[in-house]
Amino acid sequence: TAALRFPPFLSSRAAPKTTAAACTRRTASATLRVAALPESAPVSAPASTSEERPEFSPPAGFAPPVPKRFAVKDGQLASVAGAALALPFRLGTGLFVLGYSVSLVSADKIPSDQYSLEFLGLKVKETSKIDQCRRPEKPIEIYEFEGCPFCRKVREMVSVLDLDVLFYPCPQKGPTFRPKVLEMGGKKQFPYMVDPNTGVAMYESDAIIKYLADTYGDGTVPIMLSLGLFTTITAGLAMIWRVWKGSSYTVSKLPPQPIEIWAYEV
Ligand SMILES: N[C@@H](CCC(=O)N[C@@H](CS)C(=O)NCC(=O)O)C(=O)O
């Protein structure tokens, strides 16, 4: 999943804390910064702005990494291009948080402790409705797998609502979490959602999306997630280049704690 910090200051969650069994935890805000420095640019420390700034020095032998231009790794171009098919097919549905809007304002309109991009001498101001929405106290649990178009729809909604979710990967023949779904819900069908905050558990992607919108949003479902069969077909087409990737099990070791991934579904 792409990892680009965008929008930068819309989510203000505490650091994730969970003791649930091994699985993948994804949050909808993203974290990678792309530094577009020329290769020859020297690495320099930011100028000191305050006398109170604590002094620190790098450990002995520390060599700072040399900034690199953003690039696609050799041999990965087809894979990245294939993953990017989602953009035309899904029109970037999981890219924007609920009620996202962007405007250019003068620098004094942005509090000094908040980061914002600069453009044409102005600051880029981003806002959303997420701050007014209920947040889940405990992460929502979703049993699903990457190559399933119904699951993809739910992941997009998770991104739109900027939710903390424990994703339990359930690829075909996966021995770990698949049987749990049969045990809890009575059938092996994915996605399956359990919300420990409300005690609600359900199958059916559209029902899950509506539930999330009603419980953690303003009740609205983005248009690209409310078009029935068209939504499901385009969700499938978005993944067509990567057919079955993330859909079948390969022998793996469970990490003792959930892996934390900050990403969004696009
Ligand atoms: N109407 C359901 C359809 C879900 C569905 O058919 N999921 C497939 C995976 S794409 C499934 O569970 N197949 C059974 C299996 O993987 O064992 C929904 O919208 O969630």
> Read out DSSP for 232-257?
HHHHHHTTGGGTTTTTB-------SS
Strands 140-144 and 164-169: parallel
What confidence score (pLDDT) does residue 142 get?
98
CATH class of 24-34+84-98+133-262: alpha beta
Q: Is 232 in the pocket of ligand 1 (CB under 6 A)?
A: no
pLDDT tens digits, the chain, 266 residues: what are they? Answer: 333 333 333 343 433 333 334 456 665 543 332 233 333 444 444 444 556 778 888 899 999 999 999 999 999 999 899 989 999 999 999 999 999 999 999 989 888 888 899 988 899 999 999 999 999 999 999 999 999 999 999 999 999 999 999 999 999 999 999 999 999 999 999 999 999 999 999 999 999 999 999 999 999 999 999 999 999 999 999 999 887 788 999 999 999 999 999 999 98
Q: Give CA–CA dist 135/84, Å, rounded.
A: 30
Q: Ligand 1 centre from 148 Cα, in Å?
A: 7
Q: Ligand 1 centre from 18 Cα, in Å?
A: 28
Q: Give CA–CA dist 127/115, Å, rounded.
A: 13
Nearest to 64 by CA among 44, 81, 80: 44
Pocket test for ligand 1, best of 142, 145, 150, 168 (most atoms within 8 A of CB): 150
Give the nearest ligand 1 atom to 190 CA: 12
Q: Is 126 in the pocket of ligand 1 (CB under 6 A)?
A: no
Long-range CB contacts (< 8 A, 24+ apart) of 111-114?
114/9
pTM score:
0.78
> What are the residue boundaries of the structural domains of the chain, listed by start?
24-34+84-98+133-262, 100-130
What confidence score (pLDDT) does residue 61 get?
92
Q: Give CA–CA dist 67/171, Å, rounded.
A: 37
Q: Ligand 1 centre from 150 Cα, in Å?
A: 7
Total residue length of the chain = 266
